[in-house]
Amino acid sequence: MGEGESFITIARVSKVQGRHGEVLTELHTDFPERFEQRRTLYAWQPSGQRRQLQLAEYWPHKGGMVLKFEGVDSIEEAETLLRSEIQIPASERAELEEGACYVSELLECVVVNAEAELGKVVDVNFGAGAAPLLIVKNDAGREFMIPFVESFTTKLDLQGKRIEMQLPEGMLELDAPVSSRKRSKEDS
């Protein structure tokens, strides 16, 4: 493996699952069936360290995937993987079907809605519905959650780090803070 080899994240460890070292991950891949061929995975830990792991078993659970790695056999050992990103070398990634892309390619993209710049993609949220949500933040610190669906996306320029969208009228207002009128109702 070359020193400068790049990796892509295919899952993120969200919690310990079970008593024998299993972890529940949220998937960042459209190809979970590829775990069958991919037994060597890498955990990139929040500390910035990457550790090679051998996948022993995997099974779907609650919209995510439970992964069991060889040599990770206890709750304590599984806890060392929390918040890790499960990665593969970029050279091994699946050839994507037309129009699909990776989370790593979406991050930092500028999102433009009908000519107005909304901000940059800071994260991609899976599991909230049928479509992944782009978490877009503008310079003022305001966050938008935008479903990343083909019907809203007019142009995807990953090279130029730009996503042009045509969002339904009123969609961005859904993320506006709770109005004072609504808040007072909740307090009473």
- Proportion of the chain in helix, strand, coil states, percent, rounded to 5: 15, 40, 45
**32-55 pLDDT, tens per residue?**
777 777 889 999 988 889 999 999
What is the rounded distance in angstroms from the CA atom of residue 31 to the CA atom of residue 74?
28
- What domains, with CATH codes, occur in the chain? 7-91 (2.40.30.60), 103-174 (2.30.30.240)
Predicted local confidence at residue 6, as pLDDT: 83
The answer on pLDDT for 176 being more than 60 is: no
Q: Rounded to two decimals, what is the model's pTM?
A: 0.53
**106-117 pLDDT, tens per residue?**
889 999 998 899
